[in-house]
Amino acid sequence: MANMNTTFVLLLNLLYLLLITESISLEAVPSNSIAVNANVQKGLKDPFNRLSSWVGQDCCNWEGIGCNNQTSNVVGGSQYTPDQTNCLSGKLDSSLHNLKYLSYLNLSNINFEGVSFPYFLGSLKKLTYLDLSFTMFFGVVSPTLGNLTNLSYLNLIPSQFSGNTLSVSNIYWLTNLSSLYYLNLQNIDLSKAKTHWLQVVNILPSLSELYLSSCGLHHLPQTLPFVNFTSLSVLDLSNNGFNSSSIPPWLFNLIALINLKINYCDLKGPIPNIARASLCNLKNLDMSFNFIIGGPITEFIQALSGCGNNINRLEQLNLGSNQLSGVLPHSLGYFTQLRELHLTNNSFLGPIPSSIQHLSRLEILDLSYNLMNGTIPEFIGQLIELSTLDLFSNSWEGTMTETNFLNLKKLTWFSFSLTRNSLVFNSPSVKIRDCQLGPAFPTWLKTQKELLEISLVNSSISVKIPNWLWNLSSLHWKLDLSHKQLRGDLPKSLSFVWLDLSYNNLTGSLPLWPSGSYLSLRKNFLSGPLPINIFQRMKKLVTLDLAGNFLTGSIASLTIGPTNLWLVYLSNNLLSGNIPRHWRSMQNLEAIDLSQNNLLGNIPTSLCSLCTLNWLQLSYNNFSGDHFSTLQNCSSLYALDVGGNRFSGTFPKWIGEKLPSISKLRLQGNMLSGPILEQLCFLTHLHVLDLAHNNFSGSIPTCLGNLVGLKSLHMDLTAKGTQLEYYNQILLENSIDLSRNNLIGEILEVLTNLSLLITLNLLWNQLMEKIPENIVVLRNLEILDFSCNHLSGSIPPFMSSTF
Ligand X SMILES: *[C@@H]1O[C@H](CO)[C@@H](O)[C@H](O)[C@H]1NC(C)=O
Residues lying near ligand X in the complex (CB under 6 A) are found at 48, 50, 69-72, 77-78, 83, 85, 106, 108-109, 122-123, 125-126, 131, 143-144, 146-147, 149-150, 172-173, 176, 203, 205, 218, 228, 243, 289, 291, 321-322, 345, 349-350, 373-374, 434, 458, 462, 467, 470-471, 485, 487, 491, 505
CB burial of residue 321 (10 Å; 0-12, 13-18, 19+): buried
- Closest approach of ligand X to the CB of residue 85, in Å: 5
Looking at beta carbons only, is 38 or 640 nearer to ligand X?
38
The CA angle 446-448-449, to the nearest 5 degrees, is: 125
- Nearest residue to the partner ligand X, using Cβ: 146
What minimum distance in Å lies between the beta carbon of 6 and ligand X?
Answer: 20
Rank residues 349 and 783 by Cβ distance to ligand X and give the closer one: 349
The Cα–Cα gap between 703 and 712 comes to 15
Give the nearest distance from C-beta 12 to ligand X in angstroms: 20
The amino acid sitting at 545 is: D
**Cβ–Cβ under 8 Å, residues 117 and 137:** yes
**Residue 488 bridge partners (DSSP):** 506
CA-CA distance, 712 to 213, in Å (whole number)? Answer: 31
Instruction: Give the DSSP letter string of 351-403.
Output: PPPGGGGG-TT--EEE--SSEEEE---GGGGG-TT-SEEE--SSEE-S-B-GG
250-253, long-range: CB < 8 A, 24+ apart: 250/223, 250/224, 252/278, 252/279, 253/227, 253/278
In angstroms, give the least distance from the CB of 412 to ligand X.
21
CB of 223 to ligand X, least distance (A): 15
Q: How far is the CB of 62 from ligand X (least distance, A)?
A: 12
* Closer Cβ to ligand X, 118 or 772, answer by number: 118
**Host H or E run for residue 11:** helix 4-18
Cβ atoms 680, 704 nearer than 8 A: yes
Q: Closer to ligand X at the Cβ: 287 or 307?
A: 287
Q: Smaller CB distance to ligand X: residue 358 or 487?
A: 487
**Ordered DSSP codes for 336-365:** TT--EEE--SSEEEEPPPGGGGG-TT--EE
- The residue (of 186 and 321) whose beta carbon lies closer to ligand X is 321
- Cβ-based nearer residue to ligand X, 109 or 208: 109
Helix (H, G, I), strand (E, B) or coil at 573: coil
- With contact defined as beta carbons under 8 Å apart, do 594 and 628 qualify? no
- Which residue(s) pair with 784 in the sheet? 760
Q: How far is the CB of 131 from ligand X (least distance, A)?
A: 5
Q: How far apart are CA 681 and CA 704, in angstroms?
A: 6
Q: In whole angstroms, how far apart are CA 266 and each of 108, 400, 467?
A: 31, 39, 52
The rounded distance, in Å, linking the Cα atoms of 453 and 475 is 7
For the bound state, the minimum distance from the C-beta of residue 345 to ligand X, rounded and expressed in Å, comes to: 4
Shortest CB 60 distance to ligand X, Å: 12
The terminus-to-terminus CA distance of the chain in angstroms comes to 89
Angstrom distances, CA of residue 560 to CA of 428, 534, 589: 38, 10, 11
CB nearer ligand X, residue 350 or residue 529:
350
Which CB sits closer to ligand X, 458 or 774? 458
User: Least distance (Å) from ligand X to the CB of residue 83?
Assistant: 4
Residue with Cβ nearer ligand X (82 or 772): 82
